[in-house]
Amino acid sequence: METNAFKGLMRKEWLITKNNFIFLTCFKLFIWAAVLGGSLLTGNQEMLFIATTMIVGIHVIYITIIVGAGLSLEEKSQMWLHNPRSTSMILGSKLLTGILLQIISLFMACLLLGLTVFFLDSPGENVLTAGSIFQMSVQLTFSGLELAIFYTFYWTVYHSMGKFVFLAKFKVVFLTLFIIASILLILFIEKQLLAGLHSILPVPVEMTKFMNVYIEEDGFEIRSGNENISLAGLFISSLKIIGLFFLSSWLLNKAVNVK
């Protein structure tokens, strides 16, 4: 029963966010095609490489865009006030929809990157492997999910303030102060936890996190950029995602109206 209900919520999320997904996909393809045309006309291949890597990298905010669009519609329509499902299930369906759409969009962006490397080959060296692209995609998705969770949390805090008359008139001011204070608190706690966990989980994991385009006299090259990611950092990020998700669900459940 719960599985069918969640599938229904996922279908609803697709219906309310598909226009955003189609728009972002078309916009991405338009930008790539326009820069491709400009590169062919001017013979400036570097321009397309840089634009394509930017298209891939900008996906770090993709889940936030999708989730934000869904939350905005809920705010306007007040649909979930009449939804019998739990707020955690509703928020979960939004986040999962954002993740799935990001994976699809990121896959298309990586195909564009492959086409760029294939059609506009450079005299320089292009060091990109399927493994490095996959690792970078995982990093982008994980970072994008964390960003979307923070957005969702602050969104629920903002609208939960509507319950209190003395806060309602100054929600923006109080939210700004709350964001600053909460980020400082989270950074402090994270620093303390990292110091303790690094002694338990000291082994770093090297993963591809970004791409670099190098322009030199004999051509240009595109390389993957590797960074050491600590297991402790990944663990703490996972805790933040889980904790903020359930806290957002609890706050939203306490709000009688979303204003």
Name residue 187's amino acid: L
Per-residue pLDDT at 95: 93
Per-residue pLDDT at 251: 84
Q: What are the two backbone dihedrals, phi and then psi, of residue 125, each rounded to the nearest 5 degrees?
A: -105, 130
DSSP label at residue 123: S
Condensed to tens digits (0 to 9), the pLDDT of residues 192-204 reads: 777 766 666 655 5
Q: Is pLDDT at 211 greater than 60 in this prediction? A: no
Residue found by looking up tokens 């699809």 in the block: 104
For the chain, percent of residues with pLDDT exceeding 90: 24
What is the torsion angle, in degrees rounded to the nearest 10, for the CA atoms of residue 82, residue 86, residue 88 and residue 92?
-70
> And the tokens for 62?
């993709």
Length of the chain: 259
Q: In a 3-state reduction of DSSP, which class is residue 85? A: coil
Q: Is pLDDT at 123 greater than 90 in this prediction? A: no
- Rounded to whole angstroms, the Cα distance separating 16 from 34 reads 29
Per-residue pLDDT at 51: 85
Round the average pLDDT of the chain to a whole number and report it: 78
- Rounded to whole angstroms, the Cα distance separating 212 from 221 reads 8
pLDDT band for position 23 (cuts 50, 70, 90): very high
> And the tokens for 227?
């960074």
Model confidence, pTM: 0.83
Condensed to tens digits (0 to 9), the pLDDT of residues 55-109 reads: 988 898 999 999 998 888 877 766 665 566 678 888 888 999 999 999 999 999 9
Q: Is pLDDT at 122 greater than 70 in this prediction? A: no
Per-residue pLDDT at 259: 47
The secondary element (H helix, E strand) that includes residue 59 is none
Distances (CA, A) of 32 to 15, 41, 111, 127, 147: 27, 14, 12, 21, 25
60 burial via Cβ count (<10 Å: 0-12, 13-18, 19+): buried
Per-residue pLDDT at 205: 56
